[in-house]
Structure 1
Amino acid sequence: MGNQKIRTRYAPSPTGYMHVGNLRTALYAYLITKHEGGDFLLRIEDTDQERYVEGAVDVIYNTMKMTGLIHDEGPDIGGPVGPYVQSERKPLYADYAKKLVERGEAYYCFCTKERLESLREAAEDSKAPVKYDKHCLHLSKEEIEANLAAGIPYVIRQNNPTEGTTTFDDVIYGAISVDNSELEDMILLKSDGYPTYNFANVVDDHLMGITHVVRGSEYLSSSPKYNRLYQAFGWDIPVYVHCPPIMKDAQNKLSKRNGDASFEDLIAKGYLKDAIVNFIALLGWSPGTNQELFSLEELIEIFDYKQINKSPAIFDPVKLRWMNGEYIKKLSVEEFHKLAEPYYAKELKHPHMDSFKISKLLQSRVEVLNEIPSFLDFFNELPEYSNELYIHKKMKTTLDNSLVSLEKILPVLEGLEDWTHEGLEKAITATIAEMGIKNGLMLWPIRTALSGKASSPGGAYELADILGKEESLSRIIKGIEQLKNA
């Protein structure tokens, strides 16, 4: 391997979603090769025609583009070792399967569904592992030729040894040995002429010069079968990097079936793509420092796949929220506002309000974009609230002194011409000075009357500025009435 250029690939099946686990596989494959200045390939594995979902290839392209995992070769851009779609490579696989038959490493199998079914039932009755019994390995050349000439459907099976062990080295998990008696004579070529996933994988990885294969640890147990194929062809075995499973909690794996989020779901919920990529990078890998926030460029710089963990990674939604909040804070106000606008368009009932000013208040408070509507309710209308909100220990406000402050400020605000943040601040500060009171005694009652909430983004000046003169005055008058009736 010495100075050979590193080549990795992401080889998804077009089945509809980009699961978090799939995205992590793509990310690690990308980081491994980019860290060394190598090539990253995209290959579409669509040989399982029954699972094919319309539009799924676009989901793959869009996700890769959004996350910045840009491939150097692939179906859409071509490259020297195409085609990059397995169904377009179909004739290749039959040729390679037949090569193995010639070498005695594979054989034709003409067994009917019924015979295979009875083998399965017998194995289950005797609690033995279900395995093909090599029945067709012993057919004579004449029998095989007669069957082929008669057009009897067949599959081609790998001819695995039944004695001894097969050992392989995994970068993360070390040396792993399997008893050959456990190896199944797996089907390489199906009766429809399509290769099985495992076989196509090996042939394509070899022909495309893939040096490092990144995949989930659930493939550990099939690695010996892969390696026997490489050896049967006399090919170099790639470096395997098996990633630990991603768990929802200590017992359950993350899965789309249980309604766990895919990449699209997370985007729809208002997570930022860069935060998702950063979070997923740390599911099973750590840089060995305390740093947690990384751009894609920084990840490329420091990613060392030998630091991938063996133990399962827990998908911690609390940490993802926190991280997303950090990414939101790093945006410019303009960028945040652009992301927030669709929520305002849907939720903000008063078109005269300056939503850019709302964005300035919300940016440091929002962790996930879909929380934005929960901050907008009181801008739309004043909620019913209890007078208890006026009482604040630290501000030293009571129902009585709150009423005094609001009654004092109302005529000042009614006569105010310059209804801007600066104008409001000037007028209110002057009144506070004139009354000889602490700021909080005036500002807390105003903020409470304007928002009707125990906590709100922004204080008295910001809220009055956004709500506008008419709405602000009507809310303050309502507060005065409420306090008078207390």
Structure 2
Amino acid sequence: MFHVGGARSALYNWAVARQSGGTFVLRIEDTDAARNKPEWIDGIISALAAIGIHEADPAFEGPYFQSHNADRHREAAQQLFAGGQAYYCDCTREQLRERTGSEHLGYDGFCRDRGLLFEEGRALRFRTPDEGSTVVVDLVRGEPAFPNSAIEDFVIARGDGSPVFLIANVVDDLDEGITQVIRGEEHLSNTPKQQLLWEALGAEPPVWAHLPVIVNEKRQKLSKRRDKVALEDYLADGFLPEAMTNYLMLLGWGPGDDQEIRPSEELERLFRLEDVNTAAAFFDVKKLTAFNGEYIRALAPEQFAAACVPWLVAPYAPWRPEAFDRKVFEAAAPLAQTRLALLSEITNYVDFLFLDEPVQDEASWNKVMKAGANDVLRDARAEMAAVAEWRADDLKAVLLAVGEKHGLKLGKAQAPVRVAVTGRTVGLPLFESMELLGRERVLARLDAAAEKLAAQA
């Protein structure tokens, strides 16, 4: 599943690529076969497409597969060995622990000058410079310096000869012409090692930019073990891709004014890596939901109706497929559009139109079906049965008159009718809902509610 942090990083890379006339490169780092499946790659591509990053766009390149470049990774590792910038090491973890007295200290350089050649089981280590510092020029974080004495002679190829991720990443970046690396700050600790490898391979390191970590309401880094982090899950909950894109772009960066709701093209144009914050970015689901409501209300009615379709069919829809009436829904959709914060909420707003009987919310029933409710229901039923035209305005006039008869304002008079007809105390406008539901079904539901009240009495 595509992490929202990865989606934010992708959007920032995309904006920079498009601004500069450059290329956004999608690379699948698939050297760990157990963690890579074709359907997951399809999921990444479809998730990117959802936030506006499309394979067909000229600025999109890939996907490339790291596993396809394995020979070059080995070649680069051997190049460093031949140049004296790497050496073989046969130290075991136990031997290192015995020499250092700790499992936590880095490698002590024991094999640096032993002149070992490759044998099965010997790892290839990079010879980190003894003195000085490695300075990382970072567009977000300035120029952090990492003392070389604190960087151990790290492994670049395992005991079986296979290169590790660090050197594979650098070689792939070189071969794919990567000039800017924009990623999460958790990768910053790897950057001095990667930069040393770039320089050892005779290349100019790319421009680095490490983005602020994304945290939850407890200021903990978003974790898939604890938090909902998959972009696909948010889309499945009814968040519009456009709202997600807008919100993700503002996690750690802003255009410098108070306007937050903006089309993606405008955000792309305004984005500047240099203005990204270093402070952690709070993933505020309430704010995202408010964004989503704004985007829902901005849709044209036909767009809104079309966007709701996935939630009107199985497995979301609780009604029989043949009971669904597309014309009735399209008439109801504008009534729901101003009320929804999530597209997935549409089912509960319109289910009463397509179910044989409304889903009765017991809390709503107990709240309004009290003394006098049965009299209101019976009088409303009698008057509504006699109206010449089954229209919202006429039905409202009937209930106004019934309310006056019982000394009730319209809000109080319509409450038991709403619960009888829709099953809930809140929902779409009542009289328009009854017009859509039709005379016969409304009268039947009023009768059923009156009978239930009588039985309870």
Q: Alignment partner of 2:397: what SS?
A: helix
Give unpaired runs (5+ residues) of structure 2. Answer: none
Q: Alignment partner of 1:198: what SS?
A: helix
User: Match for residue 105 of structure 1?
Assistant: 85
Question: Is 2:434 aligned against 1:458?
Answer: no
Aligned mates of 2:195, 2:455 — CA distance in 1:
84
Question: Is 2:18 aligned against 1:44?
Answer: no
Question: Is 2:351 aligned against 1:351?
Answer: no
User: Which string of whole-angstrom CA distances, capped at 9 and with x for unpartnered residues, describes residues 171-228 of structure 1?
Assistant: 1111211221111222223344432221122222223222211111112222221221
User: Match for residue 86 of structure 1?
Assistant: 66
Identity of aligned residues (%): 30
Mark the CA change 1:154 to 1:205 in structure 2 (over 3 Å): closer, same or farther: same
Please identify, of 313-322 and 472-481, the stretch whose mean Cα deviation from structure 2 is larger.
472-481
Give unpaired runs (5+ residues) of structure 1. Answer: 1-16, 77-83, 392-398
User: Match for residue 138 of structure 1?
Assistant: 113
1:265-284 correspondence runs (5 A)? 265-284=233-252
User: Match for residue 96 of structure 1?
Assistant: 76
How far 1:361 moved relative to its partner? 2.2
How far 1:370 moved relative to its partner? 2.7
Q: Alignment partner of 2:124: what SS?
A: strand
CA contact (8 A) 1:348 1:376 kept: no
TM-score, normalising length: structure 2: 0.84
How far 1:451 moved relative to its partner? 2.8
Quick one: which of 385, 393, 397 aligns to 1:414? Answer: 385
2:65 counterpart letter in structure 1: V
User: Match for residue 10 of structure 1?
Assistant: none
Quick one: which of 152, 155, 166 aligns to 2:123? Answer: 155
Mark the CA change 1:55 to 1:193 in structure 2 (over 3 Å): closer, same or farther: farther
Aligned mates of 1:484, 1:157 — CA distance in 2:
83
How far 1:306 moved relative to its partner? 1.0
User: Match for residue 341 of structure 2?
Assistant: 367
CA contact (8 A) 1:406 1:446 kept: no
Q: Alignment partner of 1:88: what SS?
A: helix
Question: Is 2:87 aligned against 1:117?
Answer: no
2:330 counterpart letter in structure 1: F
Mark the CA change 1:432 to 1:280 in structure 2 (over 3 Å): closer, same or farther: closer
How many pairs does the alignment contain? 440
User: Match for residue 59 of structure 1?
Assistant: 43
User: Which string of whole-angstrom CA distances, capped at 9 and with x for unpartnered residues, describes residues 257-281 of structure 1?
Assistant: 2242311211222222221122211
1:211 counterpart letter in structure 2: T
User: Match for residue 5 of structure 2?
Assistant: 21
Aligned mates of 2:204, 2:60 — CA distance in 1:
22
How far 1:351 moved relative to its partner? 1.8
CA contact (8 A) 2:399 2:413 kept: no
2:323 counterpart letter in structure 1: P
1:87 counterpart letter in structure 2: S
Please identify, of 31-40 and 184-193, the stretch whose mean Cα deviation from structure 2 is larger.
184-193
Aligned mates of 1:65, 1:377 — CA distance in 2:
31
User: Match for residue 61 of structure 2?
Assistant: 74
1:357 counterpart letter in structure 2: A
1:389 counterpart letter in structure 2: V
CA contact (8 A) 1:284 1:313 kept: yes
1:468 counterpart letter in structure 2: G
CA contact (8 A) 2:418 2:425 kept: no
Mark the CA change 1:129 to 1:434 in structure 2 (over 3 Å): closer, same or farther: closer
Mark the CA change 1:430 to 1:465 in structure 2 (over 3 Å): closer, same or farther: closer
User: Match for residue 441 of structure 2?
Assistant: 471
CA contact (8 A) 1:450 1:475 kept: no
How far 1:36 moved relative to its partner? 2.3
TM-score, normalising length: structure 1: 0.80
